[in-house]
Amino acid sequence: MESGQWLVEKRSSFKSDPTAKESENMSETGCLSIIVLGASGDLAKKKTFPALFHLYCQGFLPPDEVHILGYARTKISDDELRNRIRGYLTSDRGSSLDRSEDLSKFLKLIKYVSGGYDDEEGFQRLDKKISEHEFSKNSMEGSSRRLFYLALPPSVYPSVCKMIRQCCMNKSDLGGWTRIVVEKPFGKDLDSAEQLSSQIGELFDESQIYRIDHYLGKELVQNLLVLRFANRLFLPLWNRDNIDNVQIVFREDFGTDGRGGYFDEYGIIRDIIQNHLLQVFCLVAMEKPISLKPEHIRDEKVKVLQSVLPIKDEEVVLGQYEGYREDPTVPDHSNTPTFATMVLRIHNERWEGVPFILKAGKALNSRKAEIRVQFKDVPGDIFKCKKQGRNEFVIRLQPSEAMYMKLTVKQPGLEMSTVQSELDLSYKQRYQGVTIPEAYERLILDTIRGDQQHFVRRDELKAAWEIFTPILHRIDNGEMEPSMYKPGSRGPEEADELLAKAGYVQTHGYIWIPPTL
């Protein structure tokens, strides 16, 4: 190269989705088949089919191109499946609209095939049913769309995916696609998750796999990136210089509620913290992505997970509510925690020294999920109001979706005294007449549209398990035991002590009350 000349290379483009259309402008014309595997189970009845019904009512599943198939081992007819799910579809979130006509038309779209999850003949029958529908809609072979929703336990994922790959794929690619949705738990630790990922990854490209975590479909969770990166107010505040600590909390006021056998196999960390709360943690802590493309967002989530330091034993409190072992499906000497509080610390420039407190528990004194960002004390406290509490930005995920900022203000009156109040955005009050969609509706629609932003990528899953596997193994080996706590309490007293050690300052005398219409 001659002196004074520069060699300019074009930056290589990002790897394209092999299932994506050649052009963003190319419309998908093939019919859509949605196959719910495990159709007779609780998840399908309570979540999957109701989500599909609500999408249908809103016009996102046109009856002239959509076909819904249930598949399970249970030997029932089409009408028997329809009757089983009918009652779960009609409880329409308090709506006064008469959905009886929509319900009748929707149920006619549903058909059923019986077969085992490793039964080749059963999946051949399923493929025949799908193909008959595609043929009836005059879809060109390969242009149709096939969405397989695995409402199944992870133990059968490998065999089911093998059967789908062997018997039920599109025969060519003319703008159509085949996608699979898999539910959590994605393994029980790092090794089992990687094994499961490898088994599925041998059969499908990463772009065809949608690992669903329904928390990513919640309205206030989806609002996090907008809040953080579209508002000048938060940009200079969102760092170690201003934020003292962050809490991400999940509380339930009931116990295992008939799921004792399942829950005891996993525990609160695997069931809630490693997936739901960690996904929220990523969105709170990640750096600004270079664009809103799904891969750019997921890249930043992986980076923040890889920056998490190993969890210290002294920054973990485990609990088990009294009476948990009385469940006949739970072992008499179960060591499974029903409550956990732990501190995550991020080793990077933005968050060095800021504790992220993840807390989840069952049989507590309230039911809620929220993010609580607590700011540092005001320097030079001339109003002597420090004891009243700090500024906090609270994002209430459920119930009563809201965002509010706890501020210190002057108490109305002639005296100069201060009190804590709030700036409040409560969704039911602000957005009257707007129905907030269920998380599953949003995520199933994203799957149909091919948008993986709100789904967990394989390297993200691996990084998440790397954080929690060491402590989970110590619990499983009996090296860490939960403290007992009374149902209806705040959980073990040690949890509040850990919060205080981490720097959280409890506000006394202030209670946020959701506004009424």
- Name the region of 32 (left: φ>0; alpha: ψ -120 to 50; beta: rest): beta
Active-site residue among 214, 276, 296, 508? Answer: 276
Structure tokens at 471: 């402590």
Residue identified by tokens 């495990």 is 38
First to last CA, the chain: 73
Please provide residue 126's backbone torsions phi and psi, each rounded to the nearest 5 degrees: -60, -45
Structure tokens at 355: 């504790």
**CA torsion, ordered 447, 450, 453, 456, to nearest 10 deg:** 60
Please report how many Cα atoms fall inside a 13 Å half-sphere around the Cα of residue 293, on the Cβ side.
Answer: 9
Active site residue 454: no
| Residues 6+ positions from 444 with CB-CB distance below 8 Å | 48, 51, 52, 55, 147, 149, 181
Q: How many Å apart are CA 76 and CA 83, to the nearest integer?
A: 11
CA distances from residue 182 to 37, 189, 444, 475 in whole angstroms, order as listed: 10, 17, 11, 27
Classify residue 433 by burial, with Cβ atoms within 10 Å: 0-12, 13-18, 19+: exposed
Q: How many Å apart are CA 332 and CA 157, to the nearest integer?
A: 31
Q: How many Å apart are CA 421 and CA 408, to the nearest integer?
A: 6
**CA torsion, ordered 430, 434, 436, 442, to nearest 10 deg:** -130
Structure tokens at 426: 């409560």
Burial string for 465-500 (b: 16+ CB within 10 Å, else e) reads: bbbbbebbeebeeeebebeebebebebbeebeebbe
Structure tokens at 128: 């025949």
Catalytic residues, by residue number, are 276
